[in-house]
Structure 1
Amino acid sequence: MQDQELIDEYRRVLGLFPTGVVVVSGLSDGTPVGLTVQSFMALSLRPPMILLSVDRKSTSWPLIAATGKLAVNVMAADQGDVALTFAKSGTDKFAGIPWTPAPHTGVPLIEGCQAWIEGEVACTYDGGDHVIITVDVLTLHAGPDAQPLVFFRSAFRQLDQPSLVAG
């Protein structure tokens, strides 16, 4: 396979794996900053840790990394517009976005999210064109029961089927 063919097939195949959508937020000299991420997962229960993967081209990530303090805001199904806002570069992403300060670090917790996790960067690793970040969880909270925002086949989706319980 040629390089571009491999990249195209990679995107198509991995696009078949649905993921949740989160906005990673932090503060830079007291100003709220953030970016949309779909590479997010649980890493460890003891100690509680999560893992993120962020594109090296991100202009927001270095601002958050400089403090090492962040929040992961899990987007609810009705927050596609919020996720799109934070996916853009060069704008005031928090303009018109209500938020409250996290209990330990003061980083922005976006209102209306399905859940949030407050943490501190533990380690970063090379991940090709991305940076892999492990995060120590300080505190977390689930908001009102809501459907998640899901990324599937390069688009935001919503779950609309009753859940199945694994045996």
Structure 2
Amino acid sequence: MSLEFAVPVQSTGARPPVQPGSPELLRSVFRRHAAGVAVITAQGERPVGFTATSLTSAAAEPPLVSFVVGTGSSSWPVIERAEHIGVHILGEHQRELAGRFARSGADRFAPPTAWHEGPYGVPVLDGVLAWLSCRILARVPAGDHRLIVAEAVAGDAAGEGSPLLYHGGAFNGLREV
């Protein structure tokens, strides 16, 4: 069985048409979707982490979150074996931190990144709007990614500021209307 997206082949001249059912179609659609920015961390031989825009609240009872991680990510081998992970909600003042955790090859936990060991040995980033320590319940294959489902077991939502958003391929803050 083959699946194909129904996409009108209509060009405004601004962008070339995108191949139906392609990864580029998905990326171009989700560039139009504003998403909150989070950093996921875990502790292996050394701490690892990555920027995620796929974080979602999955259930209230029990308190579950979900996100995806690429199996080609440098963080995946640690996440694959970890029992607990950290989830950090970034503020708009943390664009540089989001960029650091999104870059390949960066030493994400070196200065100026401020962090400490939190509950269950999870690396907790300082100065975030909110954070959770979560126990991983499932790693579900999803193409070249894994969907992680985790239960919140500790955390703090006392940070101040406005959330950082990802939209149109860039980190943004909220605008007053």
TM-score by length of 1: 0.88
Alignment-mate amino acid for residue 74 of structure 1:
I
Of 119, 126, 129 in structure 1, the residue corresponding to residue 144 of structure 2 is 129
- Establish whether residue 28 from structure 1 lines up as the match of residue 44 from structure 2: yes
Alignment-mate amino acid for residue 63 of structure 1:
V
Summarize deviations over 1:53-72 as a string: whole Å, max 9, x none. Answer: 11121011221331221100
Q: How far apart, in 1, do the equivalents of 2:88 and 2:159 lie?
A: 13
Unpaired runs of 5+ in structure 1? 163-167
Aligned residues: 160
Match of 2:24 in 1: 8
- Aligned pairs for 1:15-164 within 5 A: 15-29=31-45, 31-96=46-111, 97-103=113-119, 105-161=120-176
* Residues 4 and 91 of structure 1: CA distance in aligned 2, closer, same or farther (over 3 Å): farther
Secondary structure of 1:78's counterpart equals: helix
Secondary structure of 1:46's counterpart equals: coil
Unpaired runs of 5+ in structure 2? 1-16
Match of 1:165 in 2: none
Deviates more, 1:86-95 or 1:114-123: 86-95
Secondary structure of 1:146's counterpart equals: coil
Supply the RMSD in Å over aligned alpha carbons: 1.8
Residue identity (%): 29
Q: Is the 8 A contact 1:65 1:121 kept in 2?
A: no
- Looking at CA atoms only, which structure, 1 or 2, has the larger radius of gyration? 2
Offset of residue 86 of structure 1? 0.9
Q: How far apart, in 1, do the equivalents of 2:108 and 2:129 lie?
A: 19
